[in-house]
């Protein structure tokens, strides 16, 4: 039995037996892990409030060979979200991001980019809850990108010509983007404005992206939500379990 220590973001918990919980979290050094926290539902327990969803913790756990479920030994709160526990739309947004992280992350595979991006998005939405919707779009685009499902936003998948930023481009059935000539106008149209919103996610951190998105037209925001929804649905082969604000 080996002991590990890592920073982790708690995503979801399930009750188990009388006093225990199964906790799913995204960890920095081991990716998605599922673990048992024994006795954590007893009044006095060593985990305290650290296993509330969306808390960032320092986690020590045991892992037995050939067992997917690890055993939580000790936790320490690095960042709690108690202040947001009364904000229903933020909690729905967080659950949505948590669900997608669980759906997209293979277990026990560390991905530092994914961990940092997720943490930055949770943090941005915590800081300015009114920007939640833009943070969710940013999160979706980056999740797709990190996991390899985002089409190339810079050049046509067919002729490799760089998009000028001044033309409507088209999303094909194979989820790649093509210039007007190669696509012949077939596929889902991606407007200039939507394209520039998508490109902005590549250049900015989530808080800044959300701030700059305040000026963006609601039709463009809706277009973006429809596009990410479509891409995520295609990857999961179903619609996400929870989806706020669309
Ligand atoms: Zn082309």
What is the per-residue pLDDT for 43? Answer: 83
Q: Tell me, in angstroms, the distance from the centre of ligand 1 to residue 202's CA.
A: 22
Q: Tell me, in angstroms, the distance from the centre of ligand 1 to residue 150's CA.
A: 17
pLDDT in tens, the chain (246 residues): 899 999 999 999 999 988 999 999 999 999 999 999 999 888 888 898 899 999 999 999 999 888 889 999 999 999 998 888 889 999 999 999 999 999 999 888 999 999 999 999 999 999 999 999 999 999 999 999 999 999 999 999 999 999 998 899 999 988 899 999 999 989 999 999 999 999 999 999 999 999 999 999 999 999 999 999 989 998 888 777 777 754
Q: Tell me, in angstroms, the distance from the centre of ligand 1 to residue 162's CA.
A: 9
What is the per-residue pLDDT for 245? Answer: 59
Q: Tell me, in angstroms, the distance from the centre of ligand 1 to residue 193's CA.
A: 19
What is the per-residue pLDDT for 170? Answer: 95
**Model pTM?**
0.93
Q: Tell me, in angstroms, the distance from the centre of ligand 1 to residue 224's CA.
A: 22
Q: Tell me, in angstroms, the distance from the centre of ligand 1 to residue 157's CA.
A: 7
Q: Tell me, in angstroms, the distance from the centre of ligand 1 to residue 108's CA.
A: 39
What is the per-residue pLDDT for 40? Answer: 87
Q: Tell me, in angstroms, the distance from the centre of ligand 1 to residue 199's CA.
A: 18
Q: Tell me, in angstroms, the distance from the centre of ligand 1 to residue 171's CA.
A: 12
What is the per-residue pLDDT for 53? Answer: 94
Q: Tell me, in angstroms, the distance from the centre of ligand 1 to residue 182's CA.
A: 4
Ion ligand 1 contact residues with beta carbon within 5 A: 156, 158-159, 179, 182
Q: Tell me, in angstroms, the distance from the centre of ligand 1 to residue 156's CA.
A: 5
Q: Tell me, in angstroms, the distance from the centre of ligand 1 to residue 159's CA.
A: 4
DSSP the chain: -EEEEEEEEEEEEEEETTTEEEEEEEETTTEEEEEEETTTTSSS-TTTTTTSTT-EEEEEEEE-TT-SEEEEEEEEEEE--GGGTT-HHHHHHHHHHHHHHHHHSPBT---HHHHHHHHHHHHHHHH-GGGHHHHHHHHHHHHHHHTT-SPPSSB-TTT-PBP-SSS-EEE-TTS-EE-HHHHTT-SEEE-HHHHHHHHHHHHS-HHHHHHHHTTS-HHHHHHHHHHHHHHHHHHHTS--S--TT-
């Amino acid at each position: 039995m080996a002991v590990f220590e890592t920073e982790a973001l708690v995503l979801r918990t399930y009750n188990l037996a009388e006093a225990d919980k199964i906790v799913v979290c995204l960890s920095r050094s081991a990716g998605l892990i599922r673990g048992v926290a024994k006795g954590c539902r007893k009044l006095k327990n060593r985990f305290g409030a650290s296993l509330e969803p969306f808390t960032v913790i320092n986690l020590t756990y045991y892992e037995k060979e050939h067992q997917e479920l690890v055993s939580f030994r000790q936790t320490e709160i690095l960042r709690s979200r108690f202040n947001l526990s009364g904000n229903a739309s933020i909690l729905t947004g967080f659950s949505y991001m948590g669900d997608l992280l669980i759906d997209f992350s293979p277990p026990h595979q560390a991905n530092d980019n994914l961990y940092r991006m997720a943490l930055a998005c949770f943090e941005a939405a915590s800081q300015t809850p009114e920007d939640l919707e833009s943070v969710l779009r940013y999160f979706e685009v980056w999740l797709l990108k990190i996991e390899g499902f985002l089409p190339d936003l810079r050049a046509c998948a067919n002729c490799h010509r760089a998009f000028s930023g001044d033309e409507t481009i088209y999303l094909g059935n194979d989820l790649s983007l093509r210039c007007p000539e190669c696509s012949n106008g077939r596929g889902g149209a991606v407007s200039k404005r939507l394209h520039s919103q998508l490109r902005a996610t590549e250049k900015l951190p989530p808080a800044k992206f959300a701030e700059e998105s305040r000026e963006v037209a609601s039709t463009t925001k809706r277009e973006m939500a429809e596009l990410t929804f479509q891409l995520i649905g295609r990857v999961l082969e179903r619609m996400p379990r929870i989806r706020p604000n669309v």
